[in-house]
């Protein structure tokens, strides 16, 4: 019986020994990754319905998107943007002064600020859609860093029933070249 087991055992060992050894490869050449400067969600211009809008809102802007395209502001809406260095940029803001709020507040004066510096001060004597656009001094821009833009309203409407403070209906804001 032992003599019949030896050939079977030898055959099993031979079959197990016939495995191939995997090839050995050197690790791939290590390369430096591409440099991408703007990896975050903060950009230079956005519409209020942009999925990245929340990353730009610093203060006094509603988190609620109304009618799929705009947001209410308070008295001092402030935004943050990542801007390129050395470019001539214009600050742009598209907004609406609501008829309902205008009836109570009257004309509204808005002071536009970039990184704390006054870009312009404009008095709006009527309600409706408005467009503000003005070149920004390149020395005011901090290239590759966070830049802040603010629109400061001289007055806002306060709802008598719940105290809600409403400024502008904001559609788009940012910097264009």
- What pLDDT score does 99 carry? 96
Model pLDDT for residues 110-123, shown as the tens digit of each residue: 999 999 999 999 99
- What pLDDT score does 94 carry? 97
Model pLDDT for residues 7-25, shown as the tens digit of each residue: 776 666 666 665 566 666 6
Instruction: State the pLDDT confidence band at 144, using cuts at 50, 70 and 90.
Output: confident
- What pLDDT score does 24 carry? 67
- What pLDDT score does 17 carry? 62
If one compares 162 and 34, the residue with the highest pLDDT of the two is: 162
Tokens read off for 143: 């290239």
- What pLDDT score does 125 carry? 98
Element containing residue 148 per DSSP (H, E): strand 146-153
> So what's the architecture of 45-176 in CATH?
Sandwich (2.60)
- What pLDDT score does 1 carry? 54
Instruction: State the pLDDT confidence band at 89, using cuts at 50, 70 and 90.
Output: very high
Does residue 158 contact residue 165 with C-beta atoms inside 8 Å? yes
Model pLDDT for residues 39-80, shown as the tens digit of each residue: 455 578 999 999 989 999 999 999 999 999 999 999 999 999
Burial of residue 82 (number of CB atoms within 10 Å: 0-12, 13-18, 19+): buried
Domain residue extents for the chain = 45-176
């Amino acid at each position: 019986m032992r003599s019949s087991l030896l050939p079977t055992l030898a055959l099993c060992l031979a079959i197990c020994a016939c495995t191939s050894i995997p090839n050995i490869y050197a690790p791939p050449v290590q390369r430096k990754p591409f440099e991408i400067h703007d990896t975050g969600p903060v950009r230079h211009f956005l519409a209020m319905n942009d999925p990245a809008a929340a990353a730009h809102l610093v203060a006094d802007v509603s988190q609620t998107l109304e009618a799929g395209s705009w947001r209410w502001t308070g008295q001092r809406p402030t935004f943050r943007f990542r801007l390129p260095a050395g470019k001539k940029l214009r600050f742009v803001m598209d907004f609406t002064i609501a008829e309902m709020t205008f009836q109570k507040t009257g004309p509204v004066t808005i002071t536009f600020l970039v990184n704390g510096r006054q870009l312009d001060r404009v008095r709006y004597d009527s309600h409706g859609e408005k467009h503000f656009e003005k070149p920004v001094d390149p020395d005011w821009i901090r290239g590759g860093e966070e830049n802040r833009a603010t629109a400061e309203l001289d007055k806002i409407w306060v709802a008598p029933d719940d105290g809600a403070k409403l400024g502008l209906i904001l559609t788009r804001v940012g910097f264009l070249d």
